[in-house]
Structure formats: structure tokens, C-alpha cells
Amino acid sequence: MENISRSDVPRRTASTGRRHSSTREMLLRMVEAQSAGVSTTALAQSAGLHENTVRGHLEHLLEDGYLTREREPAAGRGRPAWLWHPVTRDPESPYAALASVLAGTLARTSVDPVADAREAGRGWGREIGAGLDREVDAGSARRAVVSVMRDQGFAPDDTGGAIVLRRCPLIQAAARHTDVVCAVHLGMIDGVLHAIGRDDRVGLVPFTGPSQCTLLMRAANTQPS
């Protein structure tokens, strides 16, 4: 999830030479952030836009050479959806594709997929946090979490209150299994905090704005404001 309406983000141009609208550039960057093809439906849900609006922008990006597409593997009746791919892809998290597969598998097979997803995420986070400094203060712990989320491709923006995640490398999986995907990410943060000797509380609110989610983090033994 990435908010491309910000004035500090440059927009690219169409084949006509006209600069992309903020919406078109946002959708292009959302596709570029993915570890695999993403559907129109998932993009529309994440961006908070109507599917027809998103489809129109994607078709223009296809014509202008920014995107390619392929049919999703058939699964039952009906014509498979298009999956969109960028011609050039942003550097991706080495864990993104694995987390996407994990979320889908847990959603299908687990008795309690959310709990199992969070526990799997904790293992991931402990591995990530193994090389970080231990027993840091609350401010340093928050900075460590922001740094990890940045490294994993979430483009975090620490507002001083909430931490806004402006990009998600798992939009396709999140659109289908929101609770499970968010639980993996929360578990990852739990694991990072445990690895550095912290017990802070975290929460994640999905789709709090067009193409963004919100991470809430409270230092241990404090009351939420």
C-alpha cells in the first residue's frame, strides 16, 4: 500500500506525453510492489475504488507498456480473472511470496488460521530481529519496527502516533484472507520485539485509507491514549 497522492512522489507519463494522474500512478506502484500477479478486484479493494475505475486505469497502463497481464489459473466456473504484472518490478522482500503462500494455506487448512498465522509470523520476526540490539528503550524499539517494515516493503510513515503503512507487497493475498495476512504481519512484529527484549503491544487496522493500513504500537505497561 502506498499513497501516491503525495506531492513528493514523481508521476510518470502516458504514451501521449501527459503525466499520470495521482490515481493511475498509485495503481501502477501498487502493482510494482507485488511479489506476484495481482487482480483488478484486489487492487480495487486496497485502493478503495470501483473496479471499473481501476480496470480503466490498468488498461491504459497496459497500452502504455507499464504492465502486462495473464489469466489467473482456472478454478471452477466462469472466466478466470486477469492478473497484472509490472514490466519493471520494485525490489521485493525475500519473504513476500512465502508469506502469501502461507496465508492461503493456513486459511484453507487450519482450525484457527489467525492464531496459527500470528505464531508463524512470530517465528519470522524472531529470525529478522536476531541481529538487532537487545533491551532497547521504547523509542528505539519503535524505530526498529519501522526499519523492519521498511525493509520488508511496507513504506512505513511514522506520524508520531500511528505508523501508517503506505505499501503492501501482499495485496492479492490480503484481499482474500485479510485477517490471516494481518496476523502474519502482527506476529512478525511480535517476534522482532521479542528478539530485542521488548513486550510492546501492537495492532494492525487494514485498509484505513486508499492503499494504506495503520499499525498501532504501545509501549509495555502504558495505557493507550
Task: Give the domain ranges of the chain.
Answer: 22-86, 96-218
Instruction: Output the CA torsion 109→47→14→169 (10° steps).
Output: -40
Per DSSP, the three-state class of 95 is: coil
Residue 97 has pLDDT above 70, yes or no: no
Q: For residues 149 and 108, give the distance between their C-alpha atoms in angstroms, rounded to a whole number.
A: 27
* Residue-averaged pLDDT of the chain: 84
The answer to whether the predicted template modeling score (pTM) of the entire model surpasses 0.85 is: no
212 vs 115: which has the higher pLDDT: 115
**Angle CA(75)–CA(77)–CA(114) in degrees, nearest 5?**
45
Q: For residues 170 and 149, give the distance between their C-alpha atoms in angstroms, rounded to a whole number.
A: 13
53 vs 105: which has the higher pLDDT: 53
Q: What is the mean pLDDT of residues 114-139?
A: 90
Nearest to 60 by CA among 89, 90, 21: 21
pLDDT digits (tens, 9 = 90+) for 163-176: 999 888 778 778 78
Residue 94 has pLDDT above 80, yes or no: no
Q: Please tell me the class of the 96-218 domain.
A: alpha beta
C-alpha distances in angstroms, 24 versus 78, 107, 169?
28, 32, 18
Q: For residues 14 and 10, give the distance between their C-alpha atoms in angstroms, rounded to a whole number.
A: 13
Q: For residues 1 and 106, give the distance between their C-alpha atoms in angstroms, rounded to a whole number.
A: 23
Residue 54: the pLDDT is 95
Per DSSP, the three-state class of 165 is: strand
Same fold, 22-86 and 96-218: no
Share of the chain above pLDDT 70, in %: 88
Q: For residues 139 and 137, give the distance between their C-alpha atoms in angstroms, rounded to a whole number.
A: 6
Residue 208: the pLDDT is 84
Question: Cβ neighbours of residue 121 under 8 Å, at least 6 residues apart?
Answer: 183, 184, 185, 186, 187, 188, 189, 190, 191
pLDDT digits (tens, 9 = 90+) for 191-204: 999 999 999 999 99
* The three grid cell numbers given for residue 70, joined into one nine-digit string: 495473464
Q: How confident is the model at residue 84 (pLDDT cuts 50, 70, 90)?
A: very high
Q: What is the mean pLDDT of residues 176-189?
A: 89
Q: Which fold has domain 22-86?
A: Arc Repressor Mutant, subunit A (1.10.10)
Residue 57: the pLDDT is 95
Q: For residues 9 and 135, give the distance between their C-alpha atoms in angstroms, rounded to a whole number.
A: 36
DSSP 205: E
How many Å from the N-terminal Cα to the C-terminal Cα in the chain? Answer: 26
Residue 222 has pLDDT above 70, yes or no: no
